[in-house]
Amino acid sequence: MLGRRHLLGLAAALAAPAWPLRAQPQGGVVVARFGPMPPPAQVRRVFAAGPPAGVLVAALAPGKLLGWPMALPPQARALLGPALRGLPHTGRLAGRGSTVALESLLQLQPDLVLDAGTADATYVSTLRTASGQTGLPMALVQGRVADHGAQLREVGRLLGVAARGEALAGQADAILALAARLRAGVPLEQRPRVYYGRGADGLETGLGGSINVELLELCAGRNVAAAAGAGSLTRVSLEQILAWDPQVIVTQDAHFARRVQADPLWRAVAAVRTGRVHCAPALPFGWLDGPPGVNRLIGVRWLLERLHPGHALLAAQEPLADAVARFYQSFYGADLPAPALHELLEADA
CATH of the domain at 62: 3.40.50.1980
Antiparallel, parallel or unpaired: β 138-142 and 233-235 = unpaired
**Overall average pLDDT of the 246-259 stretch:** 96
Say which residues have a Cβ less than 8 Å from residue 203's Cβ, sequence separation at least 6: 197, 235, 236, 237, 238, 241
Q: Which domain holds residue 225?
A: 188-347
On whether both 279 and 334 belong to a single domain, the answer is yes
pLDDT of residue 25: 53
Mean pLDDT for the chain overall: 91
Last residue in a domain, options 129, 146, 179: 179
Instruction: Report the percentage of the chain scoring pLDDT > 90.
Output: 85
pLDDT reading at 16 higher than 80:
no
Q: Please state which of the ranges 2-11, 145-154, 167-176 shows the lowest mean pLDDT.
A: 2-11
Last residue in a domain, options 179, 210, 231: 179
On whether both 193 and 226 belong to a single domain, the answer is yes
Q: Is residue 23 part of a domain?
A: no
What's the number of domains the chain is made of?
A: 2
pTM for this structure? Answer: 0.90
Among the listed residues 294, 23, 33, 292, the one whose alpha carbon sits nearest the alpha carbon of residue 158: 33
On whether both 192 and 174 belong to a single domain, the answer is no
Contact present, 238 and 203 (Cβ < 8 Å): yes
**Partners of residue 234 on adjacent β-strands:** 205
Among the listed residues 296, 305, 293, the one whose alpha carbon sits nearest the alpha carbon of residue 327: 296
